[in-house]
């Protein structure tokens, strides 16, 4: 049975100091170890942006995909090898902008894939563009007029709340979130 440390690799993350992505990485590693997985039993598929780098920082199968496509790639991986524990991850842009259609269809398909959305409500890699999850009236240098109605605020889907909840880095993810 692999330990937390065995899910580390030698690549040092280049996230900004204090970035929440470090906590997500640690939570995935802890959850995998707590579930008794070996690194070869885990696949981490990610999108683009700061959060997309996570697949390269975990000692497991990983793929750093293209913007908004982490979920379809992760579903393909799961269908190809149902024995793998598959985690898809991305930012709010991946999940709720270019990838929104994939998010909706992944919920509908209900495959055994864990999807983690690192929602910082801004496009951090581009240093401050608003995202679909930015608060109403949020102004940035690239959006001085502030969007009036973020798209996700109006999103209504009929699915279990757990599928729509955004990641809350509590002990629960470390103990039970990876299937």
Q: 91: which strand partners? A: 118
As given in the structure block, the two tokens for residue 100 are 């929104």
What are the b/e assignments for 18-49, b being 16+ CB within 10 Å? Answer: ebbbeebbbbbbbbbbebebebebbbbbbbbb
CATH of 21-171, one of 3.30.420.40, 3.40.50.970, 1.10.3720.10, 2.60.40.3140: 3.40.50.970
Residue 172 — pLDDT band, cuts 50, 70, 90? very low
Q: What is the pLDDT of residues 75-107, one digit of tens each?
A: 999 999 999 999 999 888 888 888 888 888 888
Classify residue 67 by burial, with Cβ atoms within 10 Å: 0-12, 13-18, 19+.
middle
Q: List the one residue out of 114, 115, 132 whose CA is nearest residue 123.
A: 132
List phi, psi (to 5°) of 15.
-75, 160
Residues 6+ positions from 101 with CB-CB distance below 8 Å: none
Q: How confident is the model at residue 64 (pLDDT cuts 50, 70, 90)?
A: very high
* Residue 46: predicted pLDDT: 95
pLDDT of residue 38 exceeding 90, the answer is yes
pTM: 0.81
For residue range 11-36, what is the model confidence (pLDDT) as tens digits?
A: 999 988 988 899 999 999 999 999 99
Taking CA atoms, 120 is separated from 2, 5, 6, 83, in Å, by 31, 27, 28, 32
Mean pLDDT of 111-138: 81
């Amino acid at each position: 049975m692999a330990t937390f440390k065995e899910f580390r690799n030698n690549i040092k993350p280049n996230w900004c100091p204090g970035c929440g992505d470090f906590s997500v990485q640690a939570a995935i590693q802890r959850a995998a170890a707590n579930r008794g997985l070996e690194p070869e039993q885990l696949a981490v598929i990610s999108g683009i942006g700061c959060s997309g780098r996570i697949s390269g920082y975990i000692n497991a199968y990983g793929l750093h995909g293209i913007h908004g496509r982490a979920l379809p790639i992760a579903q393909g991986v799961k269908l190809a090898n149902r024995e793998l524990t598959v985690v898809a991850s991305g930012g709010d842009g991946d999940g709720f902008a270019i990838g929104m259609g994939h998010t909706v269809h992944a919920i509908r398909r209900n495959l055994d894939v864990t999807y983690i959305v690192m929602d910082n409500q801004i496009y951090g890699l581009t240093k401050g563009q608003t995202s679909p999850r930015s608060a109403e009236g949020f102004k940035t240098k690239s959006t001085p007029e502030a969007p009036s109605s973020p798209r996700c605020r109006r999103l209504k889907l009929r699915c279990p709340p757990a599928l729509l909840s955004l990641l809350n880095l509590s002990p629960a993810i470390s103990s039970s979130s990876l299937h």
